[in-house]
A and B are shown apart, each in its own frame.
Chain A
Amino acid sequence: MARRARIATALAVVSALGLAACGDGGGEVGADAEQTLTVWAMGEEGTRIEGVAEKFNEEHPNITVKVTPIGWDVAHQKLVSAAAAGKLPDMAQLGSTWMGEFIDLGVLEPVDTGVFSADDFFPAAWEGNERDGEVYGVPWYVDTRALYYRTDLAEQAGVDEAPETWADQLALAEAYQELDSTRWAFSLPAGGDGAWQNWMPYFFSAGGSLLDGDGNLTLDSPEAVESFTEYRKYFDKGLSKSTAAAPGYDVIKDFGADRVPMFASGPWMVQNIADQAPQLKGKWDVVPLPAGDKPASLIGGASLVTFGDSEHKAAAQEFTSFLTDPKTQADWYETAKSLPANLAAWDEPALRNADVEVFQKSLDTAGTIPPLAQWEEIAHEIDVTLEELGKGGDPAELARELQEKTEGLAG
């Protein structure tokens, strides 16, 4: 008898849950209604955004933000699987190079350009979210590459000035290589995952552009050949290791031990050097990437997107405006050390007092990766090309092969 009662209760609970689940599927909810907004955020941001969400909740007590932190390494697959299963959250943070892919999947809700204006953000960050006149994400934070080098070792090698041009950088590397402690003067990856990010600034700096007017890739342009030629010099002269580093290689160890006195990387390295090589305080500097024909860097970062299937689009828009507001962005810099995508945030005291001028300067001239659905594949082919370059491949020939291999991947 008791057992039968228990089964009946269980059945009642199950059907109640089923009904509750059905109740959710009733169209869109306004921003004023009581609701829960689900957000996926990645990496460092994912673990820290909770605090910002609480502040948002103070202003909008009816909206509870539920953040799910996801590791960068699994984020891409999780998002695609969720898209396939129709189980996407309301909002997510999306890496800048994934934008094209998700626009292509047709799961993103276009941004209301009446609420968010292109003029408020770094142009390169905004353009990366734009396709065919529609904008699919609001830039949240940005990062860009700059050159880190050991000033004390440079002095020892007889160089006092910060490198400004490709020629300066090469000369500095050659001077470093003369030092006994130097293993490799410059950490320039010869292939391996993500090596393309190091090559991109050379390409932009040579005046290159990824797409021509018709939207076709131009990876065999004279500018591409020029940048490959410049890149290869470091391998030819023995200034950089001509084979790819093992996955997980951390340059800071070698930087701190005088073995690799120069590398190019993003703003996060400032904090990493302070944490992992505190003995270097005052012995290094970070400057904008030396320029070829013109100064250029590569912009990265992440945007906030709302998914088309969300029933809380109005609330998502509120949360997006909150997160991209100059005030919140400046606070965000203090908590997560992420550079604000909103231009006005750079005038806030938190940033004016911080040592971020280098990155601001780099961002003004940074090039962007257009939203291409198959960028991952193109990027992989560039990585392979750089590996061949390390083995002494001919730049012109490699550029032609690269163009051939990526034929049809854009568009």
Chain B
Amino acid sequence: MTSSTVKTPVADRPARRPAGPAGAGDRTPPPRTPPRRDRLSRHNLSGWLFSTPFLAFFATFMAFPIVATLLMSFTDFGLRNVTDPLSADFTGFDNYGELLGDEKFLRALFNTGYFVVLGVPLTIGSGLLAAVLLNSGIDRLRTFFRVGFYAPVVTAIVAVAVVWRFVLDPTEGLIAGLAAQVGLTAPDFLASETLAMPSLIVMAVWRNMGTAMVLFLAGLQSVPTEVREAARIDGAGAFQEFRRITLPLLRPTMLYVAVMTSIGFLNVFEEPFVMTNGGPSDSTLTVSLYMYREGFNFFHMGYASAMAYTLFVIILAVTLLQLRLLKDKTK
């Protein structure tokens, strides 16, 4: 029995009631009150009233823009249409076709992929490591470390940028200073086409590992001690315990962290926006940044919308893949 049938009040009705798509129900109308009227009955009225503020908010600020963007992505909406949106012409799939041939967009896709492929595993790995250490290793100063690792998550990106600019500055930066102490010269990280992206990845990992850590900490605390004890009695070492007990039991948490981090990283915008503005030579231009530039600097709204939907499809595909690969196998 699926969980949805439990919630529905009609579940206890005789099973012969047609249960299928609405269309099937229309053909053979059930003898008594149809379920549709049920949902809007007086009984549910207060529920609807309570959700109205949210629904109104959602419809205005989420649903409408989402649909409008989809429509816009099939038009040549540009600066001239801003004052009269309905004058934009439908161009079918032209925007999407153009995207496939746009070298800059392909470059941005590649950069975003690079950022995700390196950044997500590093974030999850370091978050997990920090969580395991905090959960078992460190007793004193635990709160101090927890706050320390989580602080970057809640710090404003502008402040983060100021600090990291200082860290990476080639003449008076922290790394340059340390390098000078041992007689080396530090490269100009943000001005180098090869080093700019890795620098941003390190910064993003530092900024996001706190979230992963907190989630893993919660996950670790829900691993039952009995299972651990049983494993230990059976002679498992610390590493074996971690691999065979902790990791499998952390799978649901892992899934959640992986999905959320990937979505966040695929949408990466802030880091390159404040640190490099996509440069040098587009080596840190990400899809979101390119979208922003096209949409808000040049007002190619149609083109930018097409980009947004392309990114959406990619994110959807990646998420579905993760849901499949990291399914909870303990149940």
Residues of chain A within 8 A of B296, CB atoms compared = 77
Contact B281 A101 (CB under 8 A): no
Residue of B nearest to A81 (CB): B82
Q: Is A376 an interface residue (CB 8 A)?
A: yes
B298 to chain A, nearest CB (A): 5
Apart from A246-B191, A387-B279, A388-B281, what are 16 other A-B pairs with CB-CB below 8 Å?
Answer: A83-B82, A83-B83, A84-B85, A105-B83, A191-B281, A192-B277, A243-B192, A244-B191, A244-B279, A245-B191, A246-B190, A246-B275, A247-B274, A259-B171, A376-B297, A376-B298
Contact A191 B82 (CB under 8 A): no
Residues of chain A within 8 A of B219, CB atoms compared = none
| Contact among B82, B85, B280, B297 for A244, CB-based, below 8 A | B280
- CB within 8 Å of A: which of B282-310? 296-299
Please count how many residues in chain A sit with their CB below 8 Å of the partner chain's CB atoms: 30
Contact A105 B281 (CB under 8 A): no
Q: Is A183 an interface residue (CB 8 A)?
A: yes
Contact A377 B83 (CB under 8 A): no
Residue of B nearest to A101 (CB): B79
Q: Is A391 an interface residue (CB 8 A)?
A: yes
- With the chains together, A205 CA to B46 CA distance in Å? 74
Q: Is B241 an interface residue (CB 8 A)?
A: no
Q: Is A193 an interface residue (CB 8 A)?
A: yes
B200 to chain A, nearest CB (A): 12
Residues of chain A within 8 A of B79, CB atoms compared = 80, 101, 104-105, 373-374
Write the A53-85 contact mask toward B (1 if CB under 8 angstroms, else 0).
Answer: 000000000000000000000000100100110
| Contact among B190, B192, B277, B281 for A193, CB-based, below 8 A | B277
For chain B, the bracket of interface size reads 20 to 34
Residues of chain B within 8 A of A104, CB atoms compared = 79-80
Q: List 18 A-B contacts (CB under 8 A).
A: A80-B82, A83-B83, A84-B85, A86-B83, A101-B79, A106-B83, A192-B277, A193-B277, A243-B280, A246-B190, A246-B276, A247-B274, A247-B275, A248-B165, A374-B79, A376-B297, A377-B298, A387-B281
B294 to chain A, nearest CB (A): 10
- CB within 8 Å of A: which of B18-67? none
Chain A to chain B: the 7 pairs with minimum beta-carbon distance, closest first: A243-B191, A84-B82, A247-B277, A246-B190, A377-B298, A244-B279, A243-B280
Residue of B nearest to A80 (CB): B82
Q: Is B94 an interface residue (CB 8 A)?
A: no
- With the chains together, A376 CA to B276 CA distance in Å? 19
- With the chains together, A108 CA to B82 CA distance in Å? 14
| Contact among A80, A84, A246, A374 for B165, CB-based, below 8 A | A246
Q: Is B328 an interface residue (CB 8 A)?
A: no
Write the B66-85 contact mask toward A (1 if CB under 8 angstroms, else 0).
Answer: 00000000000001101101
Q: Is A107 an interface residue (CB 8 A)?
A: yes
A377 to chain B, nearest CB (A): 5
Q: Is A400 an interface residue (CB 8 A)?
A: no
Contact B80 A191 (CB under 8 A): no
Residues of chain A within 8 A of B298, CB atoms compared = 374, 376-377, 380
- With the chains together, A269 CA to B322 CA distance in Å? 54
B300 to chain A, nearest CB (A): 9
Write the A100-126 contact mask toward B (1 if CB under 8 angstroms, else 0).
Answer: 010011110000000000000000000
A86 to chain B, nearest CB (A): 8
